[in-house]
Chain A
Amino acid sequence: MIGEAKSAIVLGGGAVGIKFHVPRLIRIGGFTDICVVEPNQKRVEELKNQFASNQIISITESLPKGKPFSLAVIATPPKFHLYYVQELIGQCEDILIEKPIARTVDEAIKIVHLLDQNGVRGYICHIRRTLKSFSFVRTILCDGLFGDLLSVSVREGSVFNWDAASIGSFSRDLNGGGVLMDTGPHTLDLLFQVFDSVDLKKAWMDADYQNSEKAIEANCILELETNNGVPINVLLSRNRYLPNMASFQFEKAKVHVNVTNNTLSIEANGGTKLHCIPGDKITSPMDFNDLFDKFYINFIDKKMNEGVSPEDGLRVIRIIDKAYECSTLMTGAF
């Protein structure tokens, strides 16, 4: 509506909120009034300086009570996701929650119920839902194009260089864990784009979750299984250079799918190779920013949460929670 400010609130003035959400709220969402809530006073000062001449963005230390917002973005460490959902109910039409949905399954269940009971549309920031390549693999699997699926292997990792503003990414209390809570939700969400259900069999971490209180993993191995008994091996890392590929071994071919962009390659048993980007029109490989844009365009702007709903976030955190609970300490890692 002309003349009426479209308001959004961003909880958390860290790198994710400021660098990724705020610009898209303005550019794609068309929001003209954005309130950023950041409890750390020092960070508040930094942000106030940064946005001093900005007419759209305001910075505050606490949640403004009673003011209605069209959209809330919770971009805090997972420890605070449930708290902010509780606080925002009644103030917001839609709530976008950064991945993972919560720190634990219990907190995630409470979030799902709260949103459901109060008729608030929730989104989980699973930006890789916008990759066409994994739904393409699902089609190959359903059509039986290359025969039965025999095994899946996912290798995702790079040396951590995220421009983190705080220690949050490395605090078990705030974040709940390490790489599995960081890129893990995206990786598991990719698997859920191919399989209806996935079950965890075994997990290894290079931090001791059974005997220590603070340590968080840089490496994690998950042994999963589909409901048809197909084994899935997932290797995640924040201190190794891994190929960032998911490989699906079918009877007649191997399909390698890049986990961070929309490219894939097919290697038929006879030796034929094909490298492509699935989709109905010619596109170029996507980068992280493209994925984020597309997430806002496909879901937030259209007010559509199919595939990125709180229930979708819940099934991801169920696996993560179980992995931490049963993890064995890696002894071979450097």
Chain B
Amino acid sequence: MFYIDDGGLLMKIAVFGGTGFLGYDFVRYVLKSGNIIPVVYSSSPKSMVNVARHDLDIRQYSVSIPEDMVLDPDVEYIVNFSHPFLVREKISAKKQIERFANLVRRQKEQNPALRLIHVSSMSVYEPFDKDHRFGEDLKLDPSINDKYASEKVYAESILRELPDANDWQLHLRPTVVYGPYCRVWTDRIMEAFDSGNVAFSDLSGKIQPVYGEDISKFIYDRINDFKPGVYNFPGPEEMTWKDYIETYRLIIGKGCLERIELNNTKQSTKFEGVEFYSSNFRELMHVIRREPSFDRIAVRLAQRLPDRVVQMIKDILLGKENQKSKNQCVKEFKGNLLFSTPFYGEDRLVSDQKLRKDFPNSKYHKLSEVNDIMREYYLYRFTDKVFN
């Protein structure tokens, strides 16, 4: 604890993943609210744009998390938004998770008063079912093919295996989260309507979207009034994907939702296949391009290939081929293909009973209550409106 001039207390917390969407939202909320000093740990320099705007202690760390890595001894909370996905620095996601859990264990041994708030994701609630609201006590059983969800489950379980975890850990499992800087459930949808019509096959699946700042506020409140446990974190309303997406269309005032037949999405699947190979090819080329001899060979090779082929390879390397393939499909479907998969026809609901019962005074925003903010955000992110 630090004392500030007016006699108040300042608490130091370590925020992992504080440069991502939800992590940054939380850091910003904390800075606005005061009495907490966040130290932001990030393993990815390229994601620091937003957080670097604040007068903050930002520390870069290696995903290898060596045994001698320690946090400041006066850190009272670790708030974790980060999720080690895929192999980084030649270390598997599983190993990264284990090393993070080890860091938490070491820190707890050093400072027995330490507490952990770990933010997971809705992906782990599988298997979903129609009108089924997944409870906290049910077994998390994602498909083994879903590496992301499996790793999320692994991270949560390994942290909960630490000694006396039930006394000092709070695990939150938000559902579909949206808000400023959310790439997946905000920017992507805005981008889609911004560029034209959006195709869908079935948007009847029900979700409980939660506004990012509601999670930030909840975590801030728990730091000031801690309660351990595992909680689902849905938003305050159930709605179909169609209603959710339609709200964005109205916010943006552009584009239309256009229904397509599900069997037409075979082309979409084909496209995803191309995307998979392109992505691998890109990764391979990324490695090869580091070799200076590559440039010499590539130039000679390019001179012998037809322009069309050279352009195609260039597009793949620059990641532009998706745009082109999408555009071709868009011509056929007259819309962006973002929502044309069966995913959006499935209910993805969780039970909110435990959360509402234990924290009856917490407030959560409905999507309609933050429309104005989302509209302003759209103008900020996707247009050249001047904000000064």
Contact = CB atoms under 8 A, between A and B. Distances in A.
Interface stretch (B3-11, B50-58, B201-209): B50-58
Interface stretch (A49-57, A118-126, A309-317): A49-57
B380 interface: yes
Given A54-B292, A215-B55, A221-B388, A241 B382 contact: yes
Given A164-B46, A242-B384, A330-B388, A170 B58 contact: yes
B48 interface: yes
Interface residues of B, number: 33
Nearest to B19: A170
Interface string B28-39: 000000000000
B384 A27 contact: no
Interface string A168-181: 11100000001000
B305 interface: no
B181 interface: yes
A215 B50 CA distance: 10
A23 B295 contact: yes
Interface in A147-195: 155, 159-170, 178
A26 B295 CA distance: 9
A241 B381 contact: yes
A333 interface: yes
B290 interface: yes
Given A155-B384, A164-B45, A242-B384, A178 B52 contact: yes
Contact of B58 (A18, A167, A168, A211): A167
B55 A214 contact: yes
Nearest to B190: A241
The interface residues of chain A, by DSSP majority, are classed as loop
B50 A218 contact: yes
B296 A27 contact: yes
Interface in A284-307: 287
B386 A240 contact: no
B144 interface: no
B138 interface: no
A219 B386 CA distance: 10
B57, B181, B381 pick with most chain A CB within 10 angstroms: B381
B52 A216 contact: yes
Contacts, number: 107
Contacts of B48: 167, 169-170
Contacts of A165: 45
B46 A162 contact: yes
Interface stretch (A81-89, A202-210, A265-273): A202-210
A323 to B, nearest CB: 13
Interface string B355-388: 0000000000000000000001100111010111
A128 interface: no
A333 B290 contact: no
Given A167-B60, A218-B49, A333 B387 contact: yes
Contacts of B296: 26-27
A279 to B, nearest CB: 19
A90 interface: no
Nearest to A34: B292
A11 B56 CA distance: 29
B301 interface: no
B22 to A, nearest CB: 15
B136 to A, nearest CB: 33
Contacts of B225: none
Contacts of A238: 49
B28 to A, nearest CB: 9
B377 A334 contact: yes
A97 interface: no
Contact of B388 (A23, A54, A204): A204
A204 B57 CA distance: 23
Interface string A11-23: 0000000110011
A105 interface: no
Contacts of A235: 384, 386
Contacts of B290: 18-19, 50
B27 to A, nearest CB: 13
A197 interface: no
Nearest to B54: A215
B291 interface: yes
Contacts of B49: 159-160, 170, 218, 238-239
Contacts of B50: 218, 239
Contacts of A159: 49
A211 to B, nearest CB: 8
B45 A217 contact: no
A212 interface: yes
A332 interface: yes
Interface core residue of B53, B57, B290 (most chain A CB under 10 Å): B53
Interface string A210-242: 011111111101000000000000010011111
A64 interface: no
Nearest to B56: A214
Contact of B380 (A164, A178, A333): A333
Nearest to B28: A334
B180 interface: yes
A203 B33 CA distance: 28
Nearest to A47: B290
B53 A215 contact: yes
Given A204-B388, A332-B387, A333-B387, A218 B45 contact: no
Contacts of B292: 22-23, 26-27, 54, 56-57
B309 interface: no
19 contacts: A19-B289, A27-B299, A54-B292, A159-B49, A163-B46, A164-B46, A167-B60, A170-B48, A170-B52, A206-B53, A207-B54, A215-B56, A218-B52, A235-B386, A239-B181, A240-B382, A330-B388, A332-B388, A334-B181
Interface of A: 18-19, 22-23, 26-27, 50, 54, 56-57, 155, 159-170, 178, 204, 206-208, 211-219, 221, 235, 238-243, 287, 328, 330-334
Given A241-B381, A334-B381, 4 more contacts: A161-B46, A240-B380, A240-B382, A330-B387
Sorted from nearest, which 9 A-B pairs have the closest CB atoms?
A: A212-B55, A332-B387, A170-B52, A164-B45, A170-B48, A160-B49, A204-B388, A155-B384, A207-B53
